[in-house]
Each structure stands twice: as structure tokens, then as C-alpha cells.
Structure 1
Amino acid sequence: MADRIAERPREAWVRVLVDGAPAARPGELADALVDPLRVRGREVVRVSAAGYLRPASLRFEFGRTDPDAFYSDWLDAGGLMREVLGPLEPGGTGKVLPALWDSAADRATRLPYVTLGPGGVLLLDGPLLLGRGLPYELVVHLWLSPAALGRRTPEEERWTLPAYARYEREVDPVRAADVVVRAEDPRHPAIVTEV
């Protein structure tokens, strides 16, 4: 995976989305790519969609366990576009805000911007990232069967399962992604689709 990303032209930024339910551990894959990319001479910035959740007043408008709100209203896609993905468009500034909102404290993070040099790689992880019009150069989707997703999702988060079923139906991330990794066994992920 690191070779494929590092082979991209060095004069342009590379925005990589690592998409998957928390049970598939997309953050772990994104973290695991950082050092191999740096060894290959690529500067890397890590961003998690968890740092771009909307304020609690908006996320929980329909209750704390509404799967439809989780699917469509929790992620601040506009903030991600403005503060992370947009600045890495051709002609952009390269200035990225690693996190905008601390959802636990329900307030702005006030983190400083970081500048990603030309040819640098953004690794953005999170669930339900596709189908929102977010720009990218490469998408890796970590796929779990519905049974594995159900087994590996903690009891207190099982209310999100209908949102993931909807995502499969409406977005079909397996077809939309450039690389699909079967993540049934976190110790032995397997690439099943590579475009």
C-alpha cells in the first residue's frame, strides 16, 4: 500500500481516505502507513474524521442513537473540505488543520495548522467517508461482512449498524474504493480488490 501511494507524482499532494467502520480499525491502518511513507521520502499528515464531528447540538438533534443522523449528520464534511482537503487541491496552500472539533469536550480544538509540502501525503481515516463528494487521490475501504461487523461492534455502538447497512446499499463502498481490504481478522487483512 505504501509503495502504491509513494509512486504517485511527487509534485502533487496525495489525499488518501482510509474508510471503514471503527470495528475494522481504519485508524490503525492509516497509522501503520505513516512510517513506511516517510521512509519512502514522503511527508505525511494524519487526520481522523473523529476530529471533524459536528457539535453535539447538531449530532444529537434527533437523539444520541439515531442511525440516520449518524449516517448523514455527524461528520462535518464541509469543515473537512475547507480545512483539510481543499487546501491540498492543485494551487492550494497546503495548510491543514489536523482537527477542528473535540467531540468529547464539545468545543473547538484550537490546534495550529500544519503545512504539508508538495508531494506530501494526507492520511484521513474514518467511517462513512464515501458518497459525500470529498475529493481524494486514493480510497482504501476496510470491509467487514455484516456478521463480522455485528460481532466486532461493541454493544453500546450496535445502534450504528443500520447506518452501515444503508452505506453498503446506497454508496456501495466496495465498488467505489480503489483498494478494498477484507478486515475480518485484524491480524490478517487481505487485499481483495485493487483498481
Structure 2
Amino acid sequence: MIDKSRKHLSRKELIDQMVNIIAAIKRTHPVRVAIDGVDAAGKTTLANELVDPLEKLGRDVIRVSIDEFHNPRTIRYQRGKDSPEGYFFDSYAYDALKESLLIPLGPDGSLQYRTSIFDFHTDSIVYSPKHHAGPNAILIFDGVFLLRSELVNYWDFSAFLDVAFDVAVERASQRDQFLFGSAQDVKERYWKRYIPGQKLYLKTCRPERHADIIIDNKDPLKPCIIRSFRP
């Protein structure tokens, strides 16, 4: 299915459509949903907005972010703090993510999963307790680089949020000052490391080819479905 009209939706209409699509997916294991997109595209906000309406349908929702699966700083910055390649290749522990969460919730999985293995604020390993998922559970997982080759086959549904880089940087300059300092410091970091890293991801992994739905999220209050392969 392709939406050629690019009609703008209200926020509620978008959430309702996505909830209906996700709830209708039939699997013999928990449904694993990826909310992908560039930095500051609105992934976390969208993922959080899906939780309550899915729970109201009687589904158990497991809410996790890629931030819980960072690599240690020594690995993340081994190519330099401004390295785009370091951002794309070294930021996250994908094997641990698969072994702790995606495989247990997948076909013939144990249903015993963890939601976190690392605290990047303290740069320390912190294993969350193991939980048991019911077969009707839904994993809502947000983060960058989720449709890369190491992960793309582990999702049952994926959304990609499309936002221009200048819009993303402007949002980040307000959001990430507690991490990097002033708004100008944030912008410099993004244009040196994060945006080139995202360009590398878009070029090598082509997430728009893999996502089940692509959403223009430039204006979060008036999102637009660019393309959907789901009814």
C-alpha cells in the first residue's frame, strides 16, 4: 500500500492508525516493533504514545530504548569523539541486544528477556532483572540505526520517522544541552558526528526500503504518512 496523497493527519489519527496496524499483527511470539529514524526525529515520543492505547486493548507492552544497550565509552569513542564512523559502528552492543531481548521474544524464543544491560550515564554495566513475556505481548523499541543489517530481520513491524537534518539539529540543540553544554556545542557535535553518522546509515542500510511505514514528522502535530506497506 502506498499513500500517494501524503495527507497530513492529526497526532491522534496517526497513533490510532499505528495502534490498529500493530494490534492486528499475528505471531506465535510477542510482536517486536521498531521505531527508527534520525536523531531527534521524535522516536521516543511516538513510541511512548503507542503504549497506553495498546494496553487498553488488553496487550502487555514491553517498552525499551536503544539507550539501554550502549557500548562503554572506550568502545564508543575509540575512533574519536567526533567520528561519524564511530557513531555508526561502535555505539551499541547489537549482539547483547539480540541475545537479551530480540531473540527471546522471537520465534521459538524463551520469553525470558532483559530490558537493559548498560547505564551510559555512569558508563557501567547494569543488567536489569529478567522478565517473562506473555505470548500476546508487544515490544515497542525506539532508537537509531534499527534497520541496519544486524537487526533488520528481528522486527515484526518497523516505522521510520523522516525529518530533515536541520530540523533534527535544531530540536537536539534544545534537548541535549545537559549532555554537551550550550546549544551551539550541541549543534557542532551533531554536524561533526551524528549527522554524518546518520548519512552513513542512510547510504549503507537504506532504511526506507525496509520500513513498513515511513512518517514525515517535521511537524509532530501534523504528521504525514509518506508510504505504508500495511493496510
TM-score w.r.t. length of structure 2:
0.80
Q: CA deviation at 1:54?
A: 0.5
- Once the two structures are superposed, residues 51-82 of structure 1 have per-residue CA deviations (whole angstroms, 9 ceiling, x without a partner) of 00101111111222211110111111111100
d(CA) in 2 for partners of 1:42, 1:166: 36
Amino acid at match of 1:190: C
The answer on whether the counterparts of 1:51 and 1:99 sit within 8 Å (CA) in structure 2 is yes
Instruction: Tell me what 1:165 maps to.
Output: 199
Q: Secondary structure at the match of 1:87?
A: coil
Instruction: Tell me what 1:111 maps to.
Output: 128
Q: Secondary structure at the match of 2:167?
A: helix
Instruction: Tell me what 2:105 maps to.
Output: 88
Question: Match for 2:33 among 9, 13, 16?
Answer: 16
Identical pairs, percent: 30
The CA RMSD measured in Å over matched residues stands at 1.5
Q: Secondary structure at the match of 1:16?
A: strand
Instruction: Tell me what 2:177 maps to.
Output: none
Q: CA deviation at 1:140?
A: 0.5
- Once the two structures are superposed, residues 4-52 of structure 1 have per-residue CA deviations (whole angstroms, 9 ceiling, x without a partner) of 1111126431000100123112111111101111111211101100000
Question: Match for 1:44 among 58, 61, 70?
Answer: 61
- 1:184 equivalent in alignment to 2:221: no
d(CA) in 2 for partners of 1:114, 1:187: 35
Instruction: Tell me what 2:170 maps to.
Output: 151
d(CA) in 1 for partners of 2:49, 2:169: 25
Instruction: Tell me what 1:133 maps to.
Output: 150
- Count of residue pairs brought into register by the alignment: 195
141-150 vs 18-27, which deviates more?
141-150
In structure 1, stretches of 5+ residues that fail to align are none
The answer on whether the counterparts of 1:9 and 1:119 sit within 8 Å (CA) in structure 2 is no
d(CA) in 1 for partners of 2:166, 2:127: 40
TM-score w.r.t. length of structure 1:
0.94
- 1:98 equivalent in alignment to 2:115: yes
